[in-house]
Structure 1
């Protein structure tokens, strides 16, 4: 359904929470991603801002995109849901995969910052349960904590809601510190202490335990991801022997251990990983669609690239920039480099 009249009818039904009309129009081909022209809001954002969780869930089932931003302020449906203050709507979007730390293009606000601004402690609690970051900053230079302090100072009403949110932030900060302190295996990996790693694994340490989300370099990483990133070959070998997930992804770049190894030129670890049972040689990261082979070539690590090619990595996959491994190699190593010819084979 593309006519302005039908768009207007569909959006009016969303504004009114008229589920029956929305259902009828969706059945007739209405686009769940319809955007309101004057506001820049999608139907999902409108329903989210109204705190209409059932309608939000219906639009999501119909294909509405929880990741897109509004065309004026750059906020997502999750931002709108947070502003509306309905915890269940926020949960519905997070269950659908909405990014808990999505940043509004104009302000740099995360949903958590908006929850504090709008003084919704219950919504704050939901976001914190989903690992919302506490150490991010706005585009105008306020850290989340400074942002909150500002709110405490300027608000004359709703102070009790802000104080309730402050208690939640304090509790989450303490829980993060405790969780980080309990990560003895990760600490040993970072320190390069192979003996301690082996002792902890023998004592039953969780081999794939993920580091808490504290807006640091290790956020959401497993010990294997860190070992491969930091060049800890024997530690990586011990972790794999203990059953570490060779295809574990980290949340920032969506990278697997192979990406971490080749990006930093660790050929020994690359050779170890390509022989690991079940390894995905061709996993494409979420930020740029690059495979480990792309990454190895991007940084000019010829040995890592050759290990991947010999292990059977695909040569035809295309990154988000439209480049195949051969294209990356040409730019990085030069058009006459022998590896470029290898990568062009059978393409």
Structure 2
């Protein structure tokens, strides 16, 4: 049986009755309450209505913006986009909503929904925040194919679709120009140490991030790429120029140290652990693994030993509940010296 206060709270959210919501929250109303009939949470309801003040109120009360609806698998950001209010979309993005959240049933990103619902102003906000242009739905359409289909079949809202098309073209051109201008990243990718040195001497931005084009280097800094690809001397040059040793990339939430150990680059690992300000124990957002977890996961003993000698913690657990010792036991065996070291510490 549904709690009457639960119904009262959701009814207030539906009505946009902020005063009642404010009154009910201190009395125990759950900011994450979900409506059984629709599968939507209170935050999704407010977001879909385009009620920006109420969305902010619910977020401040602890509503989870990453939760998906229980029927379509969409997030509050999807609902805000469908509602067409740019201010609500901005609030959710500023609160940490993932701009390329994928609905479980359709594979739609918020940008796809913005185009589908013909909201060019909302599309503009998402494009400003780096929404991906080269993603695909679960039913086989790429974002661009989806948009071309909409242009063909829609007789209403054509002007809005054409406005969105101009925005997409502008973003594509801007991404191309940014990529072409990032000579430092290009030199890092190809391993041209001399060019890297020259560009840094000329004042190239050492932590410039690559545009989001749904590729391997999306939003990476040059140091992240150098550490991933094994360019030790380039990594040294970048660190010397002040590169952020703890910069994260958005896909896995990894830092340069993760990139180095994951690929077994022991020399780069040694370089990084000696860098001022290095976070030896940063846990990635995807699986909660530290660099030590990653090194052991892939069997790179030398990287693991470098981390341990530098003081890396061995008591942190990943999202799977595993300690580094558990990873070592599974991959290296219970009798391996490194496993014994981790088990006895």
Match of 2:42 in 1: 43
Q: Tell me by how many angstroms 1:29 deviates.
A: 1.8
Match of 2:106 in 1: 107
Alignment of 1:306-317 (within 5 A): 306-317=305-316
Counterparts of 1:99 and 1:254, CA distance in 2: 12
Q: Tell me by how many angstroms 1:124 deviates.
A: 0.5
Q: Are 2:258 and 1:259 aligned?
A: yes
Counterparts of 2:343 and 2:309, CA distance in 1: 14
Alignment of 1:236-255 (within 5 A): 236-255=235-254
Alignment of 1:25-104 (within 5 A): 25-104=24-103
Deviation beyond 2 Å, 4+ runs, structure 1: none
Match of 1:342 in 2: 341
Match of 1:197 in 2: 196
Match of 1:207 in 2: 206
> Per-residue displacement from partner, 1:129-173 (whole Å, max 9, x unpaired)?
110000000001100000000101110111110000000000000
Counterparts of 1:244 and 1:172, CA distance in 2: 27
Match of 2:329 in 1: 330
Alignment of 1:126-165 (within 5 A): 126-165=125-164
Counterparts of 2:190 and 2:40, CA distance in 1: 48
Match of 1:270 in 2: 269
Counterparts of 1:62 and 1:29, CA distance in 2: 11
Q: Tell me by how many angstroms 1:72 deviates.
A: 0.5
Counterparts of 2:23 and 2:226, CA distance in 1: 54
Match of 2:217 in 1: 218
Q: Tell me by how many angstroms 1:345 deviates.
A: 2.3
* Structure-1-length-normalised TM-score: 0.99
**Which 5+ residue runs of structure 2 have no aligned equivalent?**
none
**Which 5+ residue runs of structure 1 have no aligned equivalent?**
none
Counterparts of 1:149 and 1:138, CA distance in 2: 14
Q: Tell me by how many angstroms 1:3 deviates.
A: 6.1
Counterparts of 2:267 and 2:299, CA distance in 1: 16
> Per-residue displacement from partner, 1:300-325 (whole Å, max 9, x unpaired)?
00000010011110011000001000
Q: Tell me by how many angstroms 1:334 deviates.
A: 1.3
Q: Mean alpha-carbon deviation: is it higher for 330-339 or for 2-11?
A: 2-11
> Per-residue displacement from partner, 1:47-94 (whole Å, max 9, x unpaired)?
000000010010000001111100000000000000000110101101
* Structure-2-length-normalised TM-score: 0.99
Counterparts of 2:274 and 2:174, CA distance in 1: 38
Q: Mean alpha-carbon deviation: is it higher for 2-11 or for 154-163?
A: 2-11
Match of 2:22 in 1: 23
